[in-house]
Amino acid sequence: MDQADILREMKRVENRMENRDSRRAAAVRNSDTRVVAITSGKGGVGKTNIAANLTYRFALEGKRTLLLDADAGLANVDVILGITPQYNLCHVLKGERRIEDTIVTGPGGMMILPAASGLHEMADLSRGHKLTLLEILNGFEEHLDIMVIDTAAGIAGNVMYFNMCADEIIVVVSPEPTSLTDAYALIKVLYQRQAIQRFMILVNMVRDRGEAKSVHRRLSNAVDHFLNITIDYLGYIPFDENVHRSIKEQCLVVERFPTSPASRHITGIAEKFLRKETVAGDNGTIKFFKRAIVYGNDT
């Protein structure tokens, strides 16, 4: 090799080392990100609306927040927020766009990674797509304090995958009996298949605190008796016509009607969550999707 070849080779090695170091730096920056999945056993309990409003409240508290729409086949975060993103998660997974090109800024400065709607291949992500998403998010250089994952409802593969990726899981339930039985089924599957033992319960669309406590007690008794694990009570959101008004207007109830009963409770829940100390590795994770490397074949 002549001197020019040696210099070119040295430059290539230097570039590889720089790329490696930048990836390591991104991993370190993201290692303290709180990753919370907001999930439910049954659809129609207000899960996505709660995820969006909580993310907004976290942003207002000065937190760098990202809302990931993980209902990859039937996405509706963009509909709730009244935004029309040009690109979505599907473009990222196909390598057509970078994550930086896809993320849009929402109310309060919150970041949103929208998903695709009506695409069959997105409804059940392949292992390859899951690993690609892992790599993309781990390499995301934007510092985040909190990442909120809005999962689909039920116990399908995507739901299991995104829940086991989180440090903390909030299960949204309503007073309907089917909501309780489906929430129990979700918790049971996550516990038996992935050994997840820590869950928070958020009760939505109830008349008052008494009804919310009753819903939590019924679910908690079943989980404690049959699974021998404990679920924490995060709070409740009362039935509020302003929620339906804000959804029709495609805006957040906390932003549009900040003094309404639902908004006050959402604000209180957000503050309670931020005060809650994260136990490292509660559900086996510290950084984005660490569990997914091990369990990706099982979902």
* pLDDT tens-place string over residues 71-109: 876 778 988 999 989 998 888 888 899 888 999 999 999
> Is the CB of residue 168 less than 8 Å from the CB of residue 200?
yes
Q: Give the Cα separation of 186 and 184 in Å (integer).
A: 5
> Is the CB of residue 257 less than 8 Å from the CB of residue 38?
no
CB proximity list for 134: less than 8 A, separation 6 or greater? 288, 289, 292, 293
Q: Give the Cα separation of 88 and 116 in Å (integer).
A: 6
Report DSSP letters for 114-157, one per residue: ---BS-HHHHS--HHHHHHHHHHHHT--S--SEEEEEEEESSSH
> Is the CB of residue 196 less than 8 Å from the CB of residue 283?
yes
Q: Can you state the angle between helices 209-226 and 177-194, rounded to 10 degrees?
A: 40
Q: Give the Cα separation of 189 and 172 in Å (integer).
A: 16
- Helix, strand, coil % over all residues of the chain, rounded to 5: 50, 15, 30
Q: Give the Cα separation of 253 and 240 in Å (integer).
A: 10
Q: 29 falls in which pLDDT band (50, 70, 90)?
A: very low
Task: Please tell me the predicted confidence (pLDDT) of residue 5.
Answer: 64
Question: Is the per-residue pLDDT at 165 higher than 50?
Answer: yes
Task: Please tell me the predicted confidence (pLDDT) of residue 90.
Answer: 85
> Is the CB of residue 111 less than 8 Å from the CB of residue 65?
yes
Higher pLDDT, 277 or 106: 106
Position 202, amino acid: L
Question: Is the per-residue pLDDT at 208 higher than 50?
Answer: yes
Pick the most confident of 74-83, 159-168, 248-257: 248-257
For residue range 31-84, list pLDDT tens digits in order.
588 999 999 999 999 999 999 999 999 999 999 999 999 887 677 898 899 998
Q: Give the Cα separation of 139 and 144 in Å (integer).
A: 12
Pick the most confident of 1-15, 208-222, 282-296: 208-222
Question: Is the per-residue pLDDT at 175 higher than 60?
Answer: yes
